[in-house]
Amino acid sequence: MTGHSYRIDPLFAEFEDPEVERDFREYIRDIRVRDTRLAVGMGAMFYVAFAITDFLNVGAGRDYLEILLTRMAVAGLGIVAAVLARRYWVWLVNGVIPTLVIASASTGLLAITLHRPFEIGWHGMSLMLMLIGTYVFIPNRFIPAALVAMLSSLAFLWLMLLNFRPGPGTVITLITLLVVLNILGIMTAYRISRMQHESYIDAAVLQSANAALQREVRQREDLEDELRTLLERDPLTGLPNREHFFPRADALLEAAGQRAESLAFIVIDVDYFRQINGTFGHSRADEILQVLAGCCRARLSGDMLCARLGGDDFAIMLPGVDLPAARRYADQLRLDIRHAEVDLGDSALHFTVSIGVAQWYPGENINSLLRRADHALSSAKYNGRDRIEDASELAGGVEWS
C-alpha cells in the first residue's frame, strides 16, 4: 500500500487516487461482468414479458406495435451489452455500458407510457420498478446511476403533469414518492459502492501483507543460501571447502562401493607457493589460487568433486575413473595450469603444480585415501615438482581405518 492513498471520496464513494480507482475497477472486472450479464439478462426478460399485459390492456393495433417494438429494442440493446460486457469491460466498470442500458430502458418506458391506458398510479409503479433496477439491480457506478434515476424521475413527472393534469394532492403524493424513492435509492447505491471499495481495501491490505510476508520469506531463503554458501564454499575460489568436502566425499565412496565401480583421488599443491607469496604478495598469491581453481573447474564433469582443502591444497574426486585414466586427467590439468597466467600489468606470472594420484580400493575410507594421495604428492615434490606421482606402490603397506 506504500505510495497510494486509499481514501474514499465522501461524495462520490470512489477512491480519490485515480490509480487506486483503476486498480479497483480491474479488480471487480470479472464480478461486474458476471453480475451485469445476470441483471441485464433478467431485466430484458421481464421487460419483454410485460408486453403480454400491454396486449391484454391495449389490444392489437398501432399503439401495441409501437410498445412491442420499443420493448424489443430495449431488450435487444441489453442483450448486446451483456454479450459484449467482457470484451469491453473497461467501459462496463467505468459506467458507460450500464448507464446506456439504464438510460435506454428509462427512455423506452417513458416513450410507451402514453400508449398504455393506465392511471397515473400504475405508471408511477412502473417507474418505481425502473428506479429500483437503476439503483440496485444493475451494477453501475454510484454517480451515473443516480443521475439517470433523477433525470428519469424528472422526465416522468413532467410527462405526468403535461398529459394527465393531476390534482394538487396527487402531484404532492407523486413528488413525495419520487423524492423518497430516490433518496433511499441514492443511499443504497452509495452504501453499496462504499462497501465494495472498503472490501477492496481489506483485500489490498491482505495482499500487501502476503506480498511482504513472501518477500520476507524469500529474503530469509536468500540469507540461508548465502549462509549455506559461506559454510560450504571457499570464499576466495568458490569451490567447496574442507568441511563440505568430506561428507560429499564419503557419499561418493559409498556410491562407488554400491555400484562396484572405480574411483580415483587427486591432490594438487602449488610449487614454491610460499616463495611466490613472499615475492609478489598475498593478492597475487590469491590470484594464483583463483586461476588454479578455474582450471580445475573447467575440467570437471559429471559427478566429479573438486574442493580447496586449505592454503594451496586442492583435491579432486573422480568417480568411475581408474588409475591410468586419472593420471591422464591429472597430466592434462597440470598442463592447463602451466599455460595459465596471472596478469602483473607489464608481465605475466606463470606457476606450476605437483599432483598426487591415488586409486580407491573397496572398503577404504576417505582419510586413508587422502593420506596415500598426500604421500604421492610429497613424492612428486621430492622428485622435482611440476609432475605427477601415484600411490600404487604404497597400497600394499597402508592400513585402512
Integer Rg of the chain from CA = 43
pLDDT single digits (tens) 220-256? 988 887 777 677 889 899 999 998 999 999 999 999 9
Check residue 314 and give its pLDDT: 97
* Of the listed ranges 40-44, 356-360, 389-393, 397-401, the one predicted with least confidence: 397-401
What is the rounded distance in angstroms from the CA atom of residue 35 to the CA atom of residue 27? 14
Per mean pLDDT, which range of 84-88, 226-230, 294-298, 326-330 is the poorest? 226-230
Residues of the chain with CATH 3.30.70.270: 242-397
Please check whether the domain covering 242-397 is classified as CATH 3.40.50.1580: no
Report the range of poorest mean pLDDT among 3-7, 25-29, 362-366: 3-7
pLDDT above 50 for 296: yes
pLDDT(130) > 70: yes
The average pLDDT across 269-296 equals 94
Share of the chain above pLDDT 90, in %: 67
Look at residue 393 in the predicted model and tell me its pLDDT.
55
Instruction: Say if pTM beats, i.e. exceeds, 0.75.
Output: no
Question: 4-8, 251-255, 293-297: lowest mean pLDDT where?
Answer: 4-8
Residue type, 296: C
Report the mean per-residue pLDDT for the chain. 90
* pLDDT class of 209 with cuts at 50, 70, 90: confident
Q: So what's the pLDDT on residue 399?
A: 39
